[in-house]
């Protein structure tokens, strides 16, 4: 099966006075597992439904490879969609649910039986073909829905929060299986979720959306380490924001000196479209795991304060450090042997230059 790229060009969609998509442009590589991520109402599901053909844009174009599909009906797009609710028929057996798409296409009965058997084996449900949907657990229903989507051999698989109804342990297990199946089947897949960890651990690349706009797209590492806006930095996981003003460019490439209420910080700009200037108001983003504790304060990249809270989580410990200049700073420490005491002593949290991301203030 040849893998198909997806190109979205300046797609806009309004529902009455509400603008759901605002000139969204995006390119997804053939065979890529691409996630759409963002808060509720950001437009991610609306964009997915445009790819499926359920919505037609007010303006803009959608291409699957060289073929424009902007106004092509859903059944002519060679896509398959997995819904959050799975959309399985409870009165039909597992086999009948999986066979439905092939029966609609008038495929020969013997071939349907062979393909249904193979699809159920692929998702580890070969022994459940005769059962009713109501006899299955949530995870098993999810596998049946996936088998039904894959059996029609789509070029593009669309998934709308497919794991949101599962418990945490099963969700982790199933997201790895979905990635494996997508790669083995040679599909281009677009996956909607609001779960940052799901996107970070499974996606080849993903985009963060907000208020109908595509804010930033990149690999998981790029999106976490190199956010280009305060919104993306905050949405992609816990972070500390410190406000300041650019003083000058430093002697080290791409590092800028920023004066903050807590003193001097050196940070790096991640937005290639921005030309920082002395006097610019900026926001520094520093992840909790980037801090280290030192006995003595340092001349830059340092916040001093007192521990107010410590939480032991086994594989890590989380702390809140109250600083008179920076407010409450969150830190984390991997593999803690003991918790640092909350006894009023002053602690110094220090961070490396490359872990200080300098962003234009919102």
- pLDDT-based confidence at 86, cuts 50/70/90? low
Q: Is 298 helix (H, G, I), strand (E, B) or coil?
A: coil
What is the domain range of residue 79?
6-229
Residues 272, 289, single domain; the answer is yes
* Distance between CA atoms of residues 287 and 55, nearest Å: 39
Tell me whether residue 64 is in a domain.
yes
Kindly state whether residue 218 falls inside one of the protein's structural domains.
yes
- The answer on 130 and 65 residing in a single domain is yes
**Residue 310 included in any domain:** yes
Query: Which residue has better confidence, 353 or 336?
Result: 353
* pLDDT tens-digit series, residues 126-166: 888 888 888 888 888 888 888 888 888 889 999 998 877 77
Q: CA neighbours within 13 Å on the CB side: how many for 275?
A: 0
Whether 34 contacts 204, CB under 8 Å: yes
In a domain, 1, yes or no: no
| Of 267 and 180, more confident | 267
Size of the chain, expressed as the number of residues it contains: 362
CATH number of the domain encompassing residue 252: 2.40.50.140
Of 62, 93, 95, 92, nearest to 79 (Cα)? 62
112, 80: one domain: yes
pTM of the model: 0.89
Query: Residue 217 contacts by C-beta under 8 Å, 6 or more apart in sequence?
Result: 26, 205, 206, 207, 208
The tens digit of pLDDT for each residue in 294-333 reads: 989 999 999 999 999 999 998 899 999 999 999 999 999 9
Rounded average pLDDT over 207-225: 97
Write the CATH number for 94: 3.40.50.300
Indicate if 107 and 216 belong to the same structural domain: yes
Q: Are residues 223 and 256 in the same domain?
A: no
Contact 349/331 with Cβ under 8 angstroms? yes
State how many domains the chain has.
Answer: 2
Task: Give the chain's mean pLDDT.
Answer: 91
Banded model confidence at residue 1, pLDDT cuts 50, 70, 90:
low
């Amino acid at each position: 099966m040849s893998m198909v790229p997806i190109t979205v060009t300046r797609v806009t969609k309004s529902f009455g006075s509400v603008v759901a998509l605002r000139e969204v442009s995006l390119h997804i590589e053939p065979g890529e597992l691409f996630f759409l991520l963002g808060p509720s109402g950001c437009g991610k599901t609306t964009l997915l439904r445009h790819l499926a053909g359920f919505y037609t844009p007010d303006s803009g174009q959608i291409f699957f490879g060289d073929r424009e599909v902007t106004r092509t009906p859903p059944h002519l797009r060679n896509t398959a969609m997995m819904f959050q609710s799975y959309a399985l028929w409870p009165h039909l057996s597992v086999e009948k649910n999986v066979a439905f798409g092939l029966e609609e296409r008038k495929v020969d009965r013997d071939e349907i039986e062979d393909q249904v058997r193979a699809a159920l084996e692929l998702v580890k449900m070969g022994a459940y073909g005769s059962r009713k949907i109501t006899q299955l657990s949530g995870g098993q229903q999810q596998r049946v829905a996936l088998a039904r989507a894959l059996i029609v051999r789509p070029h593009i698989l669309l998934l709308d929060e497919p794991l949101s109804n599962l418990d945490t342990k099963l969700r982790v297990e199933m997201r790895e299986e979905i990635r494996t199946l997508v790669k083995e089947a040679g599909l281009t897949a677009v996956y909607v979720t609001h779960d940052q960890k799901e996107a970070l651990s499974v996606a080849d690349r993903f985009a963060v959306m907000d208020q109908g706009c595509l804010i930033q797209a990149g690999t998981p590492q790029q999106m976490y380490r190199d956010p280009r806006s305060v919104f993306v930095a905050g949405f992609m996981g816990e972070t500390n924001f410190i406000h300041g003003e650019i003083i000058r460019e430093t002697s080290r490439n791409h590092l800028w000196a920023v004066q903050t209420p807590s003193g001097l910080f050196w940070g790096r700009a991640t937005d290639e479209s921005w030309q920082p200037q002395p006097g610019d108001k900026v926001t520094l983003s520093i992840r909790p795991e980037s801090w280290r504790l030192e006995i003595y304060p340092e001349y830059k990249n340092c916040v001093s304060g007192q521990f107010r809270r410590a939480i032991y989580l086994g594989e890590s410990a989380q702390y809140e450090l109250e600083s008179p200049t920076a407010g409450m700073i969150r830190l984390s420490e991997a593999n803690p042997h003991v918790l640092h005491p909350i006894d009023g002593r002053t602690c110094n949290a220090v961070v490396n230059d490359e872990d200080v991301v300098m962003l234009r203030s919102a």
